[in-house]
Amino acid sequence: MKLKRFTILLFLLPIFAQGQTSGNPIFPGWYADPEGQIFGKTYWIYPTYSAKYKEQVFMDAFSSKDLITWKKHERIIDTASIKWANKAMWAPSITQKDGKYYLFFGANDIQSDKEVGGIGVAVADKPEGPYKDYLGKPLVDKFHNKAQPIDQFVFKDKDGQYYLIYGGWSHCNIAKLNKDFTGFIPYPDGSTFKEITPEGYTEGSFMFMKDGKYYFMWSEGGWTGPNYFVAYAIGDSPMGPFKRIGRILTQDPSIARGAGHHSVVHNVKKDLWYIIYHRRPIGETDGNHRVTCIDLMTFDKDGLINPVKITNEGVKKSKL
């Protein structure tokens, strides 16, 4: 009897141990391009629904109080509520302003200025939506500086100014959003879209501040293959200039392939930084079969980002 009980305990030990960490992927299903956010005492993740191309017509969101247990919020937005969008709803970016939640998204994967689509904005009263079309048309509907209007990220500077940073096809732009997010504020030279493309840039822009510096991050390589990475640069302003420092997120063939298109969240109370990203499980060959994962991101004494170790365990429980 004692032996049987001991055997059961041995069997349960890995389950108990796993329960102390998030595990990777952190929730089931094919999801990519995750943006992490913190609203109040809750972590949120907004990813692309990574199904077949023609099925990418809606977005789900996920929330957690501790990074361990995640709640799914289904179809917070879909093409039925965005009249001009019909496919390829990608890479959501969300920000809170004046009691509203603004969700920026890409749609239709336009290949030229002759097509309808680009970067849109939706609005809701709650983080989980439902989100409704804010403008009735795309916010960015053309190629500027050769940047495809996809992979948008909204950055709030320390002075309260919001910027839209976006781009695909190896070009990245930054533009100053106006106060109600209906358009842009031109720069002093009269231009609206400034190119800030660093060396190696492909897509997937992200920016955060630390110790007065601007950390600009992006994805390199091809998203369907193993050669997909995250690299970064550091600048003194949102405009840069940004000189590439190096890669900090790469695949580990023993764990997963194609790690990229990420975001970063900071638990200020505990001063813990997390990188949220997608990767392709070993053995998966479908380009859209990607899962959302989380791992710890650290810095060296000079403020440079240490290479991230991707894991199956994920991160420890962490409340805000």
C-beta separation of 173 from 165 below 8 A = yes
Burial state string for 220-231 with b = 16 or more CB within 10 A and e = fewer than 16: bbebeeeebbbb
In the DSSP assignment, the letter for residue 224 is T
CB atoms within 10 A of CB 44: 21
| Distance (Å, whole) CA 276 – CA 291 | 11
Catalytic residue at 35? no
Token output for 140: 């960015």
203 flagged as catalytic: yes
Instruction: Please give the Cα distance from 297 to 266 (Å, whole number).
Output: 10
Report the half-sphere exposure of 265 (CA within 13 A, side-chain side).
28
Q: Are 218 and 232 in contact (CB under 8 A)?
A: yes
Choose among 263, 232, 261: nearest CA to 248: 232
> Which one of the listed residues 33, 35, 60, 295 is annotated catalytic?
33
Catalytic site residue from 60, 109, 203, 295:
203
Give catalytic residues, as residue numbers. 33, 203
